[in-house]
Structure 1
Amino acid sequence: MDVSEPASISTGIASRYAAAVFELSKEGKGIAALEGDVAALEAALADSADFRDLIQSPIYTRDQQREGVSAVARAMELSETMRNTLALMASKRRLFVLPALLRELRARIADEKGEVTAEVRAAKSLTKAQQDKLASTLKATFGKDVKINLAVDESLIGGLVVKVGSKMIDTSIASKLSNLQNAMKEVG
């Protein structure tokens, strides 16, 4: 059994919905509203176990999912395009791809704005000035505005691990120690 198949199916479904939502929002000059919708839905998914259950659990009927997601969308004051998309996804039993849809929309919005996101792991929290300097350095390297998504990982001991797209820069002390350990094994 190919384990990657369900993930690729979800990604494909999410990508098609994202393309449609993005184009509709772009035509209606609603990219800023779409960006707000994406942020609000990401926060709702992170904060509400009930909302995650609603979109993922097979025990809810199509009508229950549609009514539930429509009520959530109205309460969150989402754009009409996003409300209609969520209702359509519920009627097609496709709400389970919502997290992938949001990731895809986030990437399309960033691309439209000429931005990239850098996933940064640091041994300790970075100050605003340090984050700004890192963003400007990465902008010089990648030629796009860089949004920093910072996570603290004390196991790095010191330094940073920066991932932008498929490129990774690892300046952590833990990595250097591991490389030194491997070099010592080769010598002795």
Structure 2
Amino acid sequence: MATDNTSVDGVAGRYASALFDLANENSAVETTESDLVNFQALLDESPDLVRLVRSPVIAADDQARAIAVLLEKAGIGGLTANFLKLVAANRRLFVIQDMIKVYRSLAAKARGEITAEVTSAFALNDEQVASLKETLKASVGKDVTLQSRIDPSILGGLIVKVGSRMIDSSLKTKLQNMKTALSGAGA
């Protein structure tokens, strides 16, 4: 049962775990994960949508109506659409991104994979993703699912988080370290 995992604490964990269990019972784990990935992509592309899901001042009915229209236009239906509508009705949309992360981790664990969060300054191409997956697989000894995020503020390089380990090779961090070293050398 998914709830045996300690990473499912809190509101996001309970909702994601319940969704995973329901999807598993209905043999819809992959379909649900794909729909959630699509919804996350919509969030990544639209600051307005992020404001909609995070705003405590927007009425639950208004959020639910907006989400229903968005889901229909995005082609997200079935279990995932019902789940997202329930989350909106229960005023829990503000943690939907965490719910998606936890669900994807549960799905990856069920497939025998490990999830790695990767932050890059720009979108990685297929060759870069494949290379990164192979490198991580060699490091951790299991297949790796990547959850990519784009953050132009890191300037270049990658920030990779696998479990409790984080590797920060971003240009921003390297420049900050250099600045610290140089300011310390002049003292």
TM-score normalized by the length of structure 2: 0.70
**Matched-pair contact (CA < 8 Å) for 1:55–1:95:** yes
Give the secondary-structure state (helix, strand or coil) at the position aligned to 2:139: helix
Identity %: 35
Structure whose CA Rg is larger = 1
Does residue 82 (structure 1) correspond to residue 76 (structure 2)? The answer is: no
Quote how far apart the aligned CAs of 1:170 are: 6.3
Is the partner of 1:51 in helix, strand or coil? Answer: helix
SS at match of 2:144: strand
Q: Distance in 1 between matches of 2:69 and 2:38?
A: 14
In the alignment, the residues of structure 2 paired with residue 135 and residue 61 of structure 1 have an alpha-carbon distance, to the nearest angstrom, of 42
Question: 2:112 matched to which residue of 1?
Answer: 114
Deviations 1:141-173 (A, max 9, x none): 3221124548785577xxx76432112456789
1:101 equivalenced with 2:95 (yes/no): no
Q: 2:28 maps to which residue?
A: 30
Counterpart AA for 1:100:
D
Question: 1:40 aligned to 13, 38, 52, which one?
Answer: 38
* CA shift for structure 1 position 131: 5.2
Which secondary structure state, in structure 2, belongs to the residue aligned with residue 65 of structure 1?
helix
- List gaps (5 residues or longer) in structure 1: 1-10
CA distance in 1, matches of 2:83, 2:122: 40
Q: Is the 8 A contact 2:120 2:156 kept in 1?
A: no
Q: What is the identity, as a one-letter code, of the residue corresponding to 1:167?
A: R
Aligned-pair CA distance for 1:20? 1.0
Aligned partner letter, 1:69: I
SS of corresponding position for 2:56:
coil
In structure 2, relative to structure 1, the CA distance for the partners of 1:169 and 1:91 (3 Å cut) is closer
| Whole-angstrom CA distance in 2 between matches of 1:96 and 1:82 | 17
The answer to whether the Cα contact below 8 Å between 2:108 and 2:145 also exists between their aligned partners in 1 is no
Tell me the equivalent position of 1:65. 63
Q: Give the structure 2 partner of residue 166 of structure 1.
A: 164
Please give the secondary structure, in 1, of the residue aligned with 2:67. helix
Q: 1:138 aligns with which of 111, 133, 136?
A: 136
Residues 33-63 of structure 1 show CA distances to partners (whole Å, capped at 9, x for unaligned) of 1121111111111112332222122332222
Cross-structure match for 2:50:
52
Q: Name the amino acid aligned to 2:68.
A: S
Change (3 A) 1:125 1:48: closer
Q: Which amino acid aligns with 2:38?
A: A
Q: Is the 8 A contact 2:156 2:170 kept in 1?
A: no
Q: Which runs of 5+ in 2 are unaligned?
A: 1-8
Who is 1:5 aligned against? none
2:87 and 2:44 map into 1 onto residues whose CA distance is: 20
Task: Give the aligned length.
Answer: 170
Please report the TM-score for the alignment, with normalisation by the length of structure 1: 0.69
Q: State the shift of 1:124 in Å.
A: 10
